[in-house]
Amino acid sequence: MAPRGPVNSEHRTGPAPRPGRCVSAKAAVCGVFVAANFMSIMDTTIVNVALPAISRDFGVDISGLSSVNVGYLVALAVFIPVSGWLGNRFGTRRTALTALLLFTVASALCATAGSLAALTGYRILQGVGGGLLAPVGMTMMLRAFPVAERLRAQKYVMLPTAVAPALGPVLGGWLVDTASWHWVFLVNLPVGVLALLFGLWVLPDFSGSGAPRFDLVGFVLVGGGLAAVLYALTTAPDRGWGSADVLVPLVGGVAMMTLMVPWELRTRDPLVDLRIVGDQLFRTTQMALLPMGAAFMGVLYLYPQFLQTGLGYDALHSGLATFPEALGMLTASQVVPRLHDGVGPRRLMVAGGAGAALVVAFLATAAGDASSLALYPALYLLGCCVGLLFASGQNAAFVTVPASRTADATTLLTMQRQFAAAFGVALAGTVSQASAGGGTADAYRAGFLTMAAVSLCASLLALRVSDRRVREGYRADAAQAVYDEAVRLGRAADP
């Protein structure tokens, strides 16, 4: 007879196994997620390097190629909110593999594009796949790994976040110089095909709570609003904040996102359940992750430009010089699991944000001394600090989120990431361009100092993260695991 006791039935739902497969659910989910996320993140940086070659091939001015990236960005923003509904409606396995197939096929089509219109259309299809990949993949990771094991999984989860943005410009520059711009897209094919075949073979399914009705109003407000805001932030540094091309989508997007809040809270079947923000631990960690993500992407935007204009680096070598940041983040992903229990996530996050602020402030002083040799270790330290905050914060964010709510939580996290990245780049670009009248060094100094201030905000916000709630979440998950095992054994013994 199964034991009796209080249990949160929403807390733990296991995967539907793939019969006869020797690969564990954890390894299967981790392999597919890392490969898919790596492609999606790298694609946001690798294409920029190829734009001059594409403009020459199509006979179009490079300023006319904005649709190539904007189309991808808009499609990405529109379909991120849909990912949770699709995972609940059709299962995470089917949704993830379909998104992976879309992204891979679209990459092949982009490589064969013979016109700007065709390339833009294929990039939109890529954005659809990319918008679904990250949140569904993260949902599967959270469902596959118990709370106590998630920190150990961070060493793999952090790989695409750390390496892909830095590798994109390096690999893209080499492919364009040695082959052609088509290879910037073809490079996705072997990774995508192998991940798809591996996923078809071993990827488990995590059934959702069901999605009886599609929230069309919520889709328009959330997807349309996010897309409009991201478009405005992306184009603002070049076109100016007073431009109608920026103001109209920005105001419209903010209005739609504002209307989205009461609608999603009131409707019976919300596309994005905002009530998950009521989880205090999830809310406070997201508030710290947002400014850190903005500062991180802002620095990655400014730093290569500083190397090329201040130190005379070419695009390839400036990309290589940025790579120590990726190594630092990977180092942090190894260190955090060792320090987490003794130090606590709050202290790690505070130290990471404060350390990042100090390193970026140093970069501001180095902007006036182009001969400084301390830039490489500084980038490594920056990666370590950012990694401390990211690894600790992302783990803590989901400790108290029940399994049935992970799709909503990961959707919000992915939306936050996209907004943070666009906001960080827009802020860094705007500040540096506004300060350009004082000279190149002054422009970069102002940009770096602004990013240092944003990093410091992340450190201060991390003070609100509760170590006590994290410990309680670990204990609750451990107790739930014991209860589930007792139920399983009891049922096995009861005919």
Per residue in 460-470, pLDDT (tens digit) is 999 999 888 88
Asked which of 9-18, 239-248, 404-413 is least confident by mean pLDDT, the reply is 9-18
Cβ(371)–Cβ(487) below 8 Å: no
Distance, CA of 257 to CA of 218 (rounded, Å): 10
Judgement on whether residues 165 and 233 belong to the same structural domain of the protein? no
Segment 326-334 shows an average pLDDT of: 88
Q: Please report which confidence band the pLDDT of residue 485 belongs to, taking 50, 70 and 90 as the band edges.
A: low
Q: Please report which confidence band the pLDDT of residue 349 belongs to, taking 50, 70 and 90 as the band edges.
A: very high
Asked which of 104-118, 152-166, 172-186, 388-402 is least confident by mean pLDDT, the reply is 152-166
The model's pLDDT over 466-484, given as tens digits with 9 standing for 90+, comes to 888 888 877 776 676 666 6
Directed axis angle between helix 280-310 and helix 345-366, to 10°? 20
Looking at per-residue confidence, does 160 or 386 come out higher?
Answer: 386
Residue 109 placed within a domain:
yes
pLDDT of residue 238: 76
pLDDT of residue 20: 45
> Measured between alpha carbons, how far is residue 62 from residues 52, 112, 119, 183, 425 in Å?
6, 19, 14, 19, 20
Distance, CA of 271 to CA of 260 (rounded, Å): 10
Around 63, how many Cα atoms within 13 Å sit in the side-chain half-sphere? 3
> Measured between alpha carbons, how far is residue 243 from residues 214, 240, 247 in Å?
36, 6, 6
Segment 251-259 shows an average pLDDT of: 94
Q: Please report which confidence band the pLDDT of residue 370 belongs to, taking 50, 70 and 90 as the band edges.
A: low
Residue 3 placed within a domain:
no
Q: Is the pLDDT reported for residue 251 higher than 60? A: yes
The model's pLDDT over 109-154, given as tens digits with 9 standing for 90+, comes to 999 998 888 999 999 999 899 888 888 888 888 888 888 788 777 7
pLDDT of residue 18: 55
Judgement on whether residues 342 and 423 belong to the same structural domain of the protein? yes
- 82: domain CATH number is 1.20.1250.20
Residue 117 placed within a domain:
yes
Q: Please report which confidence band the pLDDT of residue 293 belongs to, taking 50, 70 and 90 as the band edges.
A: very high
Asked which of 53-67, 236-250, 264-278, 381-395 is least confident by mean pLDDT, the reply is 53-67
Judgement on whether residues 400 and 445 belong to the same structural domain of the protein? yes
Residue 61 placed within a domain:
yes
Residue 398 placed within a domain:
yes
Judgement on whether residues 125 and 222 belong to the same structural domain of the protein? no
Q: Is the pLDDT reported for residue 6 higher than 50? A: no
Residue 14 placed within a domain:
no
Cβ(163)–Cβ(330) below 8 Å: yes
Residue 310 placed within a domain:
yes
Last residue of a domain, one of 195, 211, 227: 211
Q: Please report which confidence band the pLDDT of residue 107 belongs to, taking 50, 70 and 90 as the band edges.
A: very high
Last residue of a domain, one of 252, 270, 288: 270
pLDDT of residue 177: 79
Residue 461 placed within a domain:
yes
pLDDT of residue 163: 81
pLDDT of residue 54: 87
- Single-letter amino acid, residue 149: E
User: Which residues are within 8 A (CB) of 41 and not within 5 positions of it... i.e. 6 or more apart?
Assistant: 160, 161, 164, 165, 168
Judgement on whether residues 140 and 33 belong to the same structural domain of the protein? yes
Q: Under DSSP, is residue 298 helix (H, G, I), strand (E, B) or coil? A: helix
Judgement on whether residues 228 and 137 belong to the same structural domain of the protein? no
Judgement on whether residues 155 and 298 belong to the same structural domain of the protein? no
DSSP 115: S
Nearest to 322 by CA among 383, 370, 379: 379
Q: Under DSSP, is residue 119 helix (H, G, I), strand (E, B) or coil? A: helix
Q: Is the pLDDT reported for residue 383 higher than 90? A: yes
Q: Is the pLDDT reported for residue 439 higher than 60? A: no
**Where would I find the H helices in 269-344?**
280-310, 315-322, 324-343
> Measured between alpha carbons, how far is residue 414 from residues 16, 76, 78, 138 in Å?
25, 10, 12, 9
Tokens of 213: 């009705």
- Give this prediction's pTM: 0.84
**Where would I find the H helices in 91-243?**
92-112, 116-144, 150-178, 183-186, 188-202, 216-239
Asked which of 38-47, 72-81, 413-422, 437-446 is least confident by mean pLDDT, the reply is 437-446
Domain count along the chain: 3
Secondary-structure percent of the chain, ordered helix, strand, coil, rounded to 5: 80, 0, 20
Q: Under DSSP, is residue 205 helix (H, G, I), strand (E, B) or coil? A: strand
Judgement on whether residues 318 and 258 belong to the same structural domain of the protein? no
Tokens of 186: 């073809």
Q: What mean pLDDT, rounded, does the chain reach?
A: 83
Judgement on whether residues 307 and 252 belong to the same structural domain of the protein? no
Judgement on whether residues 134 and 235 belong to the same structural domain of the protein? no
**CA triple 400-403-409, angle to 5 deg:** 70
Last residue of a domain, one of 270, 291, 314: 270
Cβ(349)–Cβ(393) below 8 Å: yes
Judgement on whether residues 406 and 485 belong to the same structural domain of the protein? yes
The model's pLDDT over 213-245, given as tens digits with 9 standing for 90+, comes to 888 999 999 989 999 998 898 888 778 888 888
Judgement on whether residues 222 and 307 belong to the same structural domain of the protein? no
Segment 31-50 shows an average pLDDT of: 82
Residue labelled with tokens 């294409």: 47
> What is the extent of the structural domain holding 306?
276-495
Residue labelled with tokens 């999605």: 211
pLDDT > 90: percent of the chain = 27
